Structure 1
């Protein structure tokens, strides 16, 4: 550059740590041409009426950031015809991510946002058969397969719950056994003896399966259970029964950070979900309702005469968000759930649900000096 007057002249407009005083034009030259006993090159001298250069405000870190120094290669495509071209060309033709790929990556980033402490999610529905237990298992599996922390789903159904049937059974222990032995539990491996874990790393704490056991799962039982689990898990999902009046429900609602209200795409399912919100509003849980998420479950491509857009608008006026989960043949089987066997639209719907729930995680408090 002909405007440069020395082999090591630095642009005076730069604010990095090696900024040169514009008045200096040589390695040891000063304003009055002197050299001996003068400050090193690039340092201003207060004796000559000049102010010391202001310290850089992180400029050197920005200049050496990886995003500035490394050439940014296209991310390889993860799906569709772009991925087929990438593989068939021996990874030499990279057309980059599709819109769907970028959308998935953004959702996964939201799901993986930091979480301090334990976040408790209650899964509710007044109507049976709408897929509440299945939604609990798939949402929990989505979290546990993507996040590095521990996720557990608790079956708080006062009747014979089916949550434990959604993953391979590793133990016959139930929440009753956990409470019985609570005083002896000191570390995570102690709790692990009472749970079953699926391929996604989701753990399930089963409810009592013996119909001869008449002892109800009470509010105190639930509170003791959660007090213990939150010492070892970061996300706790509770699969509640259909009755809002049973004893454990007050404990569930009092400790919940968020609600997921599950509805079918039918009129009676939507009315039951809306009635759930009405009951919560009338019993002092209005703030919890405002943080809730409505899920319209098992939405088929042809939904018949029900206008799902209007149904969505109804719940959007009452809840924080509304998510739709498409119908999926694997989930309809009612057997153990494997995320890899779900259709792509169902997987995307679950990612959107998990990301929406994660948006409600409490923000980490920044530390100030």
Structure 2
């Protein structure tokens, strides 16, 4: 039976397609060699399970169709990225954040919290919050004259000298916690021991808020009260002495009762020494300590005029209770040597601290010749004590009579202020 025409036509088309496919095989092998593929060997490529799932396969009827299927992944590979960097466009700048505006209630709460945390000003003890600070008023000199001439309109402030004086006054007037006493002593008489006690006592009374006390513990009929009051006034008053106070000490229980046995030179309160030579040397260390205990209950500062020498009966009690010492000396060679001997004796008898912290006062009471090297004496003594202060020659001191601050030279008064400040420095 002859073959139908449709079948002949289909077979002819299939043979033509197979011939065309056979002609394309060399070109495909060349492309695969350029792509580093292994399909040019003529073997079937290995297809993973994922690729098999992603690419549906149709049944191939020939080797050519299998080769065409292997070429599909190569054709689908993306192009290799270029090695040239790609410039990214700059990111747009972010707009600044606008802070949220606090509401009225928020501002009120913040102010209330700040006021609660801030310390309250002390309007009672700090009146300066409402007053401008003013310069101190100058006293004396060109600055003081200019201030007075302009009615206070032009104030240059105090001079350097006035500032030093103000500092001395501040040191002297410092408030003390407790009672303190300073002993004034020397190994030689007539070199300004009693005059120093009176001058420093009057200076303390001038600057301190509480009155000081001065005690005459001189066993040789001391004249402390006479130098402070004057001999005539002392004789007119009831001349009660330290001996009278000791006899009635058990009945003295107030400042009023104590005042009956004291003398007063302004604000300086004094206890007179015994004038009877047979009795004056009888003051013992125990009796002095009883006096000292009584005085400490009413006075914050006391000066003790010890007389000449350091070996009399009351001296051990005086040194035992003293807070610091004033060693009286003079520019005469004998006076300087006695001052040095006093310090050495103290250091060698258990009072090394008192000797080291002592204030040596050189009073130019008797003018010496130019042969005496005053600078050498001062340099020598200043090296063995805490401070050395020189009192210049002054008739108000050298005459051996009444000592009052009003008649003393300004340099002498300043020296007494320096001594008073130095002993108060030793208390604090």
Both structures adopt the same fold (TM-score exceeding 0.5): yes
Q: Cα distance, 1:300 vs. partner?
A: 8.3
SS in 2 for 1:76: coil
Distance 2:393 2:241 in 1: 31
Q: Cα distance, 1:303 vs. partner?
A: 7.0
Distance 2:318 2:395 in 1: 31
Q: Cα distance, 1:302 vs. partner?
A: 8.6
The structure with the largest alpha-carbon Rg is: 2
Do the aligned partners of residues 330 and 304 (structure 1) sit closer, same or farther apart at CA in structure 2, a change above 3 Å counting? Answer: same
Indicate if the aligned counterparts of 1:171 and 1:195 stay in contact, CA closer than 8 A. no
The total of aligned residue pairs comes to 323
Distance 2:100 2:378 in 1: 73
- The structure with more helix, counted as a fraction of residues: 2
Q: Cα distance, 1:68 vs. partner?
A: 6.1
**Residue 179 of structure 1 pairs with residue 252 of structure 2:** no
SS in 2 for 1:287: helix
Residue 168 of structure 2: aligned partner: 107
Q: Cα distance, 1:97 vs. partner?
A: 1.7
Give the unaligned 5+ runs of structure 2.
Answer: 1-98
SS in 2 for 1:236: strand
Q: Cα distance, 1:317 vs. partner?
A: 2.0
Indicate if the aligned counterparts of 2:366 and 2:398 stay in contact, CA closer than 8 A. no
Q: Give the TM-score of the pair, scaled to structure 2.
A: 0.69
SS in 1 for 2:270: strand
* Matching residue within 218, 223, 238 for 1:162: 223
SS in 1 for 2:273: coil
Indicate if the aligned counterparts of 2:191 and 2:365 stay in contact, CA closer than 8 A. no
Residue 42 of structure 1: aligned partner: 111
1:11-51 CA-partner distances (Å, limit 9, x unpaired): xxxxxxxxxxxxxxxxxxx967455588624256xxxxxxx
Indicate if the aligned counterparts of 2:185 and 2:309 stay in contact, CA closer than 8 A. no
Distance 1:319 1:114 in 2: 25
Alignment of structure 1 residues 68-107 onto 2, 5 Å: 69-87=130-148, 91-107=152-168
SS in 2 for 1:197: strand
Q: Cα distance, 1:349 vs. partner?
A: 1.0
* Matching residue within 334, 337, 348 for 1:271: 337
Residue 21 of structure 1: aligned partner: none
Distance 2:146 2:368 in 1: 33
Indicate if the aligned counterparts of 2:365 and 2:398 stay in contact, CA closer than 8 A. no
C-alpha RMSD over aligned residues: 2.8
